[in-house]
Structure 1
Amino acid sequence: MTPKAPVPSFDDLLSSATRSALHLEMRDVYAVGEEEDDMQRWRSGQWSLDDGRKVMAGWMDLVESVTKRGVSVRRARIVSVPVTEYIQYEHALTPLNILAGEDCRWLPRREALGIPLPAADFWLIDERVVRFNHFSGMGEPVDPEMSEDPAVASLCASAFAAVWGRATPHGEFQV
C-alpha cells in the first residue's frame, strides 16, 4: 500500500489557487472546538458579528488575500430543513465569509435529490485538486485526504455546479 501524501494546510491550499476555490459542505453539525465560547455567546443572545470576527479573523485574512489576487472563492452548503442549531450559528457567521470575499449559497437537502455527490465535504482548487474533509459522526475532523485524479475533480466540479445552480444566495436564505 502506498503511503498517503501529506495534506497541505488550508493556508497553503488556498494560497495555491490561481482561478477558483470551491467548497461544498454537506453536514448539519460540525464540532465547535475553538468556537465553543463564541457559540455560547450567540446562544445566549449576547453575541455580535464583532465577536464572530474575532473567531474568524485568521480565516477572513486568508480569504481576503486570495480574493484580492482575483481568485473566486465560493461556498455552498447543503442543509436539512428545519436547520440544526449549529447551522443557525453558521448562518449568523456567514456575513463575515461574504465580507472576506466568499460568495455563499444554501441548498435545502430535499432540493439536492438527484445530484450525484461525493461522500464527503470538499474543497476543489482550480478544478483539478480536491481536498476531502472527513468527519466523525459527532462532527470532529478526521484525516483529510487529497486527490488530483481528473475523474474525481470532475465529479466534484459537476456536483458543486449543480448545487450552486439550485442554491439560494445567503441574503435570501432564511433559517
Structure 2
Amino acid sequence: MPGFADLFAGCRRTAVHLEMRDAYTPDDPVFLDWKAGKAVDPAETWQEWYEQVRETVTRGVQVRRARIVSEPITDFIRYEYDLTRGLNLAAGEDVRWLPRRRASDLALPGNDFWVFDDEVVLFNHFAGDGSVPPDGDEEVTSDASVVKLCVSAFEAVWARGIPHEDYHPA
C-alpha cells in the first residue's frame, strides 16, 4: 500500500485529517524551541508541508483538518494552535477545533487518521507519550466499512467543530 506522501500527492478531490491526541512528538526540536520561547516561522520551518498543501489545494483538492482537544489545552496543542494560522491556513487548509467534552457522544475510531477522496484511510499510530512507535506509525486500508466509519466520524466532528478564527482555547 502507498504511504502518506503518495496518497496525498495522488488525491483528486478531498483530503481530511482528524487529530484526537493532546500531545505529539514530545522531542520535536521545533516544539522544544517554541516551548523555550524562540520564534518559529511555520511556513519556513515546515516549508515542505506548506508547499505540498499549497500545490494540492491549487490542484482543486479540498484539505480539511479537525482537532479534538482537551481543555485546558496542553502545551503541544497551544503550539499547534499558535502555528495554525501561519502554516495550515496560509497553505490553504481549513481547520476546526472541537473541545473533547463536546465529542462524548460521537463514534470515533481509535486512532488519528487521514481519508483521501473518501476511498482510502491512513491511520496514524503513536506511543502513549505521542512519540512515533518503533514498529511504524502508518496503517493504510481501503476497506469500505473502515472508510465509511472514518468519513462519518470526521464529518460529525467537522459539523460541531469551531473554525480556527472563532476558537479561543481555554
Using the size of structure 1 for normalisation, the TM-score is 0.89
Counterpart for residue 82 of structure 1: 72
Check if 1:120 corresponds to 2:111: yes
Counterpart for residue 131 of structure 1: 122
Counterpart for residue 3 of structure 1: none
Distance 2:98 2:32 in 1: 26
Distance 2:162 2:69 in 1: 12
Mapping for residues 8-157 of structure 1, pairs under 5 Å: 8=3, 10-33=4-27, 35-36=28-29, 38-48=30-40, 50=41, 52-95=42-85, 96-142=87-133, 143=136, 144-157=138-151
8 Å Cα contact 1:7/1:145 also seen in 2 = no
Over residues 44-79 of structure 1, what are the superposed CA-to-partner deviations in whole Å (9 max), with x where a residue is unaligned?
A: 33314x2x2222100001001111010000000000
Q: Mind listing any 5+ residue stretches in structure 1 that lack a counterpart?
A: 1-5
The count of corresponding residues between Structure 1 and Structure 2 is 165
Distance 2:93 2:116 in 1: 14
Give the partner amino acid of 1:122: F
1:154 CA displacement: 0.4
Distance 2:126 2:38 in 1: 29
Q: CA RMSD in A?
A: 1.3
8 Å Cα contact 1:128/1:150 also seen in 2 = yes
8 Å Cα contact 1:11/1:62 also seen in 2 = no
Using the size of structure 2 for normalisation, the TM-score is 0.92
1:7 CA displacement: 4.4
Structure 1 vs Structure 2: percent identity of aligned residues? Answer: 46
Distance 1:42 1:122 in 2: 25
